[in-house]
Chains A and B, each alone.
Chain A
């Protein structure tokens, strides 16, 4: 048995930056926010201020349903920092709103991971300031 679990306090935590602040504040409220270009609906891989496709400014922040499909994953047994509890499963999730993000799958065995596995977001705090979105099989 090696159930995939969220990490706990003590891991290296993200430091929110100027343009990603809303994303991390959303996570603390258990809302998964993403950016969409107001002009062409482009969705990026991270926070952006200019649309990478049509170069319009002022992208919108919108709330995702938090439902998506497993696009790619790995199962880590040797962590970069000993604070991480292994195994854990970093993954690229394709959200139903058409954007992709990095997260980790929890709540199943590594053997259950497969392409297009349906997932739902779940939030876990890793420090007083930072809450991370994880994904659990539906």
Chain B
């Protein structure tokens, strides 16, 4: 091992994870209380007592520190999803913390059912008057892909059918047992924002979740540790503030916004010393069916314009070359707001590497990729997890 520096996350492990019950509505909870259920569940999964937590990461970290009586502890209030995991890992590698809790929940937020969920329709001045919301934002990106590469509604529907059928098979999914789905079922659902039908879109639901990240020596009490092999984030600007333009390219020597996540994937794979072909399962963030096709290309699983045929050829099913979003994702498993559902991709990847999934377990999965965000939101995060310590 002479001359080779250790992996930056060699000393960090994912020690515990938890998804609370997920449902269309959890009337006995608000976002904090369901996040706390997740936090205690993840600590139990890790075999670590709450008072051992010395850092909390995420937008609600101060409230969680208060409610669990963790003060004084380290806070990182600015991040959510995969960046929260990377911040938690950095707190450990820099010696600031030994046990970091990342928890999130969403409940009681979407009460006006005549409108779409509040997190889908931020009222920014250049978009609000045109009735823009997340489905339309991602549709404007999808249209460019259709025009450039000939990507079809059937190919997008195939991605949605695979993920929704994964959710149908998952006993913990909000829409468990509602399938199976064929691409024709997706295309027969009512149009929301062309080319997206209702079943091309994420659902909305309520639930909580949490992840416990520790020093390597603290993991393994109850579960085999899962390791962070690589991770990074890309952004082009704030989500839902300006027009989502596929070929918006501020840096002349780089790539356009339509490929957001390509740089992050490159960094993550380089950190891991791996290539896309090494990934056994991809827990991709699935706000809309098209985004699966786009991410497959941006992350290098196939070439530009090949995402539609890649999906159509059966590669992303549970028995395919690259099983995708195996819990049913935001389309079927759960979509409880702007935070928890991003962490849930990491939780599912952890469960895949532990071999503990009740449905769609990928046999012998050694390397899992997860993602957050997407083109319509102008950001995309990538995380690589593994069963073997880096």
Q: Which residues of A contact B (CB under 8 A)?
A: 7, 11-17, 20, 45-46, 52-53, 71-82, 84, 88, 90-92, 100-104, 110, 115, 126, 130, 132
How far is B131's CA from A79's CA once the two chains are assembled, in angstroms? 7
A49 → B minimal CB distance (Å): 15
Which of B121, B244, B248 is close to A80, meaning CB atoms less than 8 Å apart? B121
**Once the chains bind, are B246 and A90 in contact (CB under 8 Å)?**
no
**Once the chains bind, are B125 and A16 in contact (CB under 8 Å)?**
yes
How far is B249's CA from A52's CA once the two chains are assembled, in angstroms? 11
Interface SS of chain B: loop
**Once the chains bind, are A73 and B140 in contact (CB under 8 Å)?**
yes
B377 → A minimal CB distance (Å): 14
**Once the chains bind, are A92 and B125 in contact (CB under 8 Å)?**
no
- The interface residues of chain A lying within 8 Å CB-to-CB of B120 are 80
- Report B126-176 residues with CB < 8 Å from chain A CB: 126-133, 135-136, 139-141, 143-144, 147
In the complex, the chain A residue whose C-beta lies closest to that of B237 is A45
| Residue B241 is within 8 A (CB to CB) of chain A in the complex | yes
How far is B144's CA from A66's CA once the two chains are assembled, in angstroms? 22
A68 → B minimal CB distance (Å): 12
| Residue B191 is within 8 A (CB to CB) of chain A in the complex | yes
Some 23 contacts from A to B, beta carbons below 8 A apart, are A11-B131, A13-B128, A16-B125, A45-B245, A74-B194, A74-B196, A76-B136, A77-B190, A77-B191, A77-B193, A78-B135, A78-B192, A78-B193, A80-B120, A81-B131, A88-B130, A88-B131, A90-B132, A91-B140, A102-B127, A102-B132, A103-B130, A132-B129
With A76-B193, A77-B190, A80-B115 as given contacts, are A90 and B126 in contact (CB-CB < 8 Å)?
no
14 new A-B contacts, CB < 8 A, other than A75-B191, A104-B131, A132-B129, are: A7-B129, A7-B131, A14-B128, A15-B125, A45-B237, A52-B250, A74-B135, A74-B194, A76-B194, A77-B190, A78-B198, A80-B131, A92-B243, A132-B130
